[in-house]
Amino acid sequence: MESGGAELESAATREWGNPAALEVVADELRYRTTKAAASLAQRIEARLTELANGGEYARTVGVSGSAAPARPAPPVFYPPPSNVERRYRALRATFTNQAEVLARWGITPLMPVDMRATVLKMWSDRFEAGESHPLGMTSEDLSRDIAEESIHRGPGVIRERR
């Protein structure tokens, strides 16, 4: 994103309730060295924390940092999430249960069913050969996910090939 400070401020104001858009602006601000950029970055980080914690205060503060007079800030009980945690939550919100199950095995929902079955068979063969999954998944996890995936798409859709 190549934008000036005023454009970044405008984007933050326009997308004040959208964590994904605020992350993009915050990422761009990491390359800026002006006081205005640092100030905006600080306000965005605070806003992302508020949105992540789901507080009432999150809806009453604008980019300018001035609070609406009607509501005081509630106490925050959780430590602010790290940048990685916020990104994970934003990404995770876009995943369906089916996509999460498939992603464990390197498969996407757009992959043709026969290719899914081939990939799952390859994982099964690897487990039988004593190889391990990079995330520690097991053959039992594979069997469970195949059964779970069948629930989402109907019986037999991505069964392992024999």
Q: Are 103 and 140 in contact (CB under 8 A)?
A: no
Q: What is the DSSP letter of 67?
A: B
Q: What is the pLDDT of residues 17-36, one digit of tens each?
A: 888 888 888 888 888 888 88
CA neighbours within 13 Å on the CB side: how many for 108?
2
Q: What is the DSSP letter of 92?
A: H
Looking at per-residue confidence, does 31 or 151 come out higher?
A: 31
Q: Are 86 and 23 in contact (CB under 8 A)?
A: yes
pLDDT band at 152 (very low <50, low <70, confident <90, very high): low
| Residues 161, 139: Cα–Cα separation, whole Å | 15
Q: Are 97 and 152 in contact (CB under 8 A)?
A: yes
19 three-class SS: helix
Instruction: Tabulate helix, strand, coil % of the chain (nearest 5).
Output: 55, 0, 40
- Name the phi and psi angles at 67, rounded to 5: -80, 150
The pTM for the full model equals: 0.40
Q: Are 49 and 63 in contact (CB under 8 A)?
A: no
List residues bridging with 103 in a β-sheet. none
pLDDT band at 82 (very low <50, low <70, confident <90, very high): low
61 three-class SS: strand
Residue 70 pLDDT: 44
pLDDT band at 68 (very low <50, low <70, confident <90, very high): very low
Q: What is the pLDDT of residues 97-143, one digit of tens each?
A: 778 888 888 888 888 888 888 999 999 999 999 998 888 889 999 99
- Supply the mean pLDDT for the chain: 75
